[in-house]
Amino acid sequence: MISFISLFSKTNDILPQDARAKLLGHDASNIQVVDVRQPKEYSRGHIPGAILIPLAQLEQRAGELDPQKTTIVY
């Protein structure tokens, strides 16, 4: 099982335009995007392919994420 702390122990801030460039770039398959908003907010619009894990559930559901991929959380 992946621990929440190990998954997010190395963090960097990223500007929206840089995140967009990564998602459109050649290495996009090595990136997972996690939307930590509530389901109602997610249903109104989200980044295509984003995984919905509300912030309150993130620690319990961290095992659903691939630790080998770069993770962008918004």
**Domain region containing 22:** 4-73
Residue scoring higher pLDDT (9 or 44): 44
- Answer whether residue 6 shows pLDDT above 70: no
CATH code (residue 50): 3.40.250.10
Q: How many domains does the chain have?
A: 1
What pLDDT score does 5 carry? Answer: 58
- DSSP labels, 11-71: -----HHHHHHHHHSTTGGGEEEEE-S-HHHHHH---TT-EE--GGGHHHHGGGS-TTSEE
More confident residue, 64 or 1: 64
